[in-house]
Amino acid sequence: MFLSKKDIPYNERLIFALDLPDNEEALRLVYELGDSVVFYKVGLQLFMAGRYFELVRQLIDMGKKVFVDLKLFDVPQTVGAAVRELRRYGAYFATVHGNDAILRASVKEKGGIKILAVTVLTSLDQADIEDLGFKASIKDLVLSRARRALNIGCDGVISSGLEAPEIRKGLGDQLIVVAPGIRPVANVDDQKRTVDVEEAFYNGADYIVVGRPIRKPIDGISPKEAAEKIQARIKAIFDAPM
């Protein structure tokens, strides 16, 4: 078991993926969730909808933490410049996807932002990785990318909870591990490498990202009730005697 020892409030370990078509709908859900969610991931859908950074600032003004998930990928100079511009908005996390030079450029310009390197997307499985030309297993690829991210100076990585134990065994507790693809119940969507709440944290995740299971609960409860249930499960994990 690799339960996180980092000093993170329980209620901040849940990051809600705010994947909605516009700011108005996003804010309606934020108000509905109230204090059941403290940390929000804001990604590409809202970026393309416009007024993205207006929403980022509104969330921060509401006392929320914001994870800018744009998976920046371009020539190193361009990514570095983008991270430098991002510093003024108050984001807590930002994702970068790319080779060592891209990661190095983002770390150089990060200021107070914590840079998370993407390892392998949770929508990919071993067959997808092989189709992309990689000969290694997903576990080996994730660990290799995590090791490089650590050596370059990234603060953490995005990794499925399935590979989190490999990161903890190979690199200890040095990196923040954020685990997406969390499915509290049976998985029926496009995520292929999923784990539940308990497995993610026992495998070494520091944070989990949950979207659809909160936004569209399948058991007839409200989004706020779904978030509260997950928060209760997280608290039980970290309150349990070791």
Single out the residue of 210, 96, 211 nearest to residue 158, CA to CA: 96
Would you put residue 169 in left (φ > 0), alpha (ψ -120 to 50) or beta?
Answer: alpha
From 65, 71, 192, 224, the catalytic residue: 71
Residues 6+ apart with CB under 8 A from 110: 83, 87, 94, 155
In angstroms, the CA 138 to CA 44 distance is 25
In this model, does residue 184 exceed pLDDT 80? Answer: no
In angstroms, the CA 14 to CA 17 distance is 10
**Catalytic-residue membership of 71:** yes
Beta strands in 80-227 (DSSP E): 93-96, 114-118, 156-158, 176-179, 207-210
Q: Which domains does the chain have, with CATH numbers?
A: 10-239 (3.20.20.70)
The H or E element spanning position 41 is strand 39-42
In angstroms, the CA 216 to CA 185 distance is 12
In angstroms, the CA 130 to CA 54 distance is 40
Please tell me the predicted confidence (pLDDT) of residue 109: 98
Read off the pLDDT band of 186 (50, 70, 90): very low
Tell me: the pLDDT tens digits for 101-138?
A: 999 999 999 999 999 999 976 665 667 666 767 666 87
Please tell me the predicted confidence (pLDDT) of residue 140: 82
In angstroms, the CA 197 to CA 210 distance is 9
Tell me: the pLDDT tens digits for 213-234?
A: 999 998 889 999 999 999 999 9
Please tell me the predicted confidence (pLDDT) of residue 189: 45
Read off the pLDDT band of 51 (50, 70, 90): very high
Tracing tokens 């030309």 back to the chain, one arrives at 133
Residues paired with residue 157 on neighbouring β-strands, in sequence order: 117, 177
Least confident segment among 3-17, 105-119, 170-184 = 170-184
Record the tokens describing residue 67, joined without a space: 């994870």
The H or E element spanning position 131 is helix 126-131
Q: Where are the alpha helices (DSSP H) in 40-92?
A: 44-49, 52-61, 76-86
Q: Is 209 exposed, middle or buried (0-12, 13-18, 19+ CB in 10 A)?
A: buried
Rounded mean pLDDT, 173-201: 76
In angstroms, the CA 39 to CA 64 distance is 6
